[in-house]
Amino acid sequence: MIIKMEDVGLKPEHTEAVVKRAMFLAYCACGGTEGMGVFKARPGASEDEVWKNVCTEGDYQFGPEPNPDKVASIPVEMDCSIYGDYVFGRMMKTGFMFNRVQGTITGRDEAARTSYQAWARKYKSHKELLDAALACVKEELHERSG
């Protein structure tokens, strides 16, 4: 599945905001931590904190220095690929590829699995998750434009 920002009434510069919101919505939809994730739990994490965790693979930091930010280190014209395995102990196991210049987001076509992706209890597919993120970003842009 590929979503083009122009096809949904947004500009290419909104691409990263949509992916960021999708990852936050997935995180929130997980409900709680799984197994040993309790040691990484951060109840009430903000959207920015979740995004940073996804971009730096924060649940898999083993050394004293933080992992590099995968999105910030990629030139804006290149494709970015992000994946949230466990995020603050919540089993997300989802990711997207996106291009900030072309304004495209690529996600999986198949249905999400509740036994593997905790967010699937609320969103049945990556498309449904992205649709929710698109709606949120559009609403915020509309509110800002007054």
Model pLDDT for residues 106-119, shown as the tens digit of each residue: 999 888 988 889 99
Residue that is written with structure tokens 């909104």 in the block:
14
Q: Which amino acid is at 119?
A: W
What's the chain's average pLDDT? 90
| Tens-place pLDDT, residues 44-61 | 899 999 999 999 888 887
| Residues 7, 13: Cα–Cα separation, whole Å | 14
Q: For residue 15, what are the CA distances in angstroms to 35, 51, 144?
A: 33, 14, 17
Q: Is residue 8 scored above 90 in pLDDT?
A: yes
Residue 12 burial by Cβ neighbours in a 10 Å radius (0-12, 13-18, 19+): middle
Q: Is residue 103 scored above 90 in pLDDT?
A: yes
What pLDDT, on a 0 to 100 scale, did the predictor assign at position 34? 76
| Tens-place pLDDT, residues 18-45 | 999 999 999 999 988 877 777 788 888 9
Q: Which helix (H) or strand (E) holds 137?
A: helix 126-145
Who has greater pLDDT, 5 or 37?
5
CB 114 within 8 A of CB 121: yes
| Structure-block tokens of residue 30 | 């997980």
